Structure 1
Amino acid sequence: MSFGEEHDGQTRTRLPDPTPGTPRPTGRGSRSLLAVLGVVALLIAAIALANRGGDPTDPPTAGSPQATGPASAAPTNPTGVAPVTGKNGAIAAGFARDEQGAQSAAANYAVALVSADILKPDRRGDIVRGVFAEDKAAEMESRLNEAYSKEFLDKLGLDAQGNAAAGMTYVSRTAPVGTKVTRFDQNTATVEVWCTGVFGTAGVGSKNPVTNDWFTMTLALRWTGGDWKLDSFAQKEGPAPVNGDRVASDADVISKAVQEFGGFTYAR
């Protein structure tokens, strides 16, 4: 799924489950594809609701950093700068006040915003306060609470607490592929994070099967309280490669993988 995506002038959020760019299904029938498309539509609506009233891709206003122009690709090899050692709950913190630090913050925040925990009311507040600037957190938490309502969770097959039914595992795992700074100064930055991930519900009879997706998140950051924090974010589809013809793993294999493989702290 995803968390903030731009589509026809709207912004949608990517969360658990396949979202934009619906990849060609592998070994699944048309009914599964229709189910995936239905969930995508729900996610797009939720993202648009959560992100109304602000778009990090808007042109710079007076006093904001000017666009730096197309950024050249930079390798993700070690740069010599030590990765962050701080933590704000389960989210990395203490990023450097430079372009590298902004990119690292954006990558980590993208992962947090599209995690399965963002759907859980008892975890959502911690995530929002961990990634958003203090003066933005309350507003964003309210928007997300509205977007991920009980009715919305029910349509995803989750209970009011964001949990899957007995015997099912809800999967939302995002992996940044690369980052690009489009605007930067010492106080603000706009970073695009190209991501892939797996989203959906693993289990026998799942109406929302786990699939993969490709999307780009645009995150507007501000230096505040000695760290990079978010002002806003948005998401759009792709760039997506051609899907390989591979056999999809069974639901129990996917569930086991999610439980056994941990995530990363992303830093350039």
Structure 2
Amino acid sequence: MATAGDSEAVVYVVHCVDTEGPQYEPVEETIDKVNNIFGLNLEETEETLACLQDKAIDLDGDEEAVYKVVEPWRLDLNSTWDQVKDMLDEITSEQFRNSYPDSSGNGWLYNWFCLDNVGITGENPQHRDLGHHNIFDRYRRYIDRNDIKRDTIQWHYHPTSLRPDGPRAGTTYINSPDLYETLARKVVDRHWFPTAYRPGYHTERPDSHWFLEQWIPFDYANQSGALADDQPSATGAGHPRPGFPTSPVTRTTRRLETATDTSPGVST
């Protein structure tokens, strides 16, 4: 760590991966997502998806923004645990890690922010692996079996939506019945507690802020509103939160340059 007297400061790059297990996204879910985000009423067909990817539908100036949601690489998901393992075998290999050394010559590191897919009692079109510890256990076993020393497992959480469907996003901690149970089970069942957190959907409200202040010392949540493309205004609670909260915080918040919530792939 550089000190005030050092001639050169040190910039630490931390790769945080929102780790949510295999995901499958049918075309109907993709178009439904577009309709919900942009207030459209497009037909949920393969033909519509192809037209959106070609920017061939007049969307009153939103063609590029919609394209970013349906870009082919975003829809190229790992839909099974076998596919996730193949990805991990590649990106955790010494050859891959050492292709991107840091200034000290050390290879690339990952921090796996594992999600428990719980509270989903409605539709599950993404075929999420539901249950406590399912994702956590697989990544812990993989790290142990492959004798990976420097990667870490941390905590990722999606507040429960009022409509408990897999793709739905909640924003309130207080109304999420699985919050305390999720962490309590990690302590009781796995003798583990996180030191760092990544918020689901990059959203933090006052209730989540005060919860994190009490329990989690490191919070990888801050995003630069000036640098983010096509992000909503970040001026208050419930938004990506550069500058929020205005009161002093005891936990350490870190700025994210980019945050792509598309895990089972590698998010940055």
Shorter-normalised TM range: under 0.3
**Larger gyration radius, structure 1 or structure 2:** 2
Comparing both structures, which one devotes a greater share of its residues to strand? 1
Taking structure 1 as the reference length, the TM-score comes to 0.23
Q: Which has the higher contact order (CA 8 A, sep 6+)?
A: 1
Taking structure 2 as the reference length, the TM-score comes to 0.23
